[in-house]
Amino acid sequence: MEDIFFTVTGCNHYFGTEAFKPRMKVTLYKEPDNKYDKEAIRVEARALGKIGYVANSPYTVLGESRSAGRLYDLIDDGATGRVLLYVLPQGLVCELEETGFEKVKKIYKKHRHY
């Protein structure tokens, strides 16, 4: 089963990336009413609240991460993930973990064109 990665961007508008360590948990929430991006996925960390958004632009998606647009239909209203070893000034590279992530991974496996 393949892993699914995503980039958290916009961290500098909140807490920066210095506060994050590998393996920290993050929670993803869809924001269907977001006036700037209809596929916006907000990312929060425990005790901090909002820390940024899943990147949804070719300029902000790092490495082999999936954009918010490619994750949006694969997750329910929310999901969880964890920070990987990549804590960079431009964002955090994270891996999807739970919330129907078994469901997400099964769907992803069927739709390899993502």
Q: What is the pTM of this model?
A: 0.80
Q: Which region, left, alpha or beta, applies to residue 104 given φ > 0 means left and ψ of -120 to 50 means alpha?
A: alpha
* pLDDT at res. 37: 92
* pLDDT at res. 99: 57
Question: Can you list the residues of the chain whose pLDDT is less than 50?
Answer: 1, 101, 104-105, 107-108, 111-114
CA end-to-end distance (rounded Å), the chain:
14
Which residues are CB-neighbours of 55 under 8 A, at least 6 positions away?
6, 7, 8, 9, 61, 62, 65, 67, 68, 91
* pLDDT at res. 97: 81
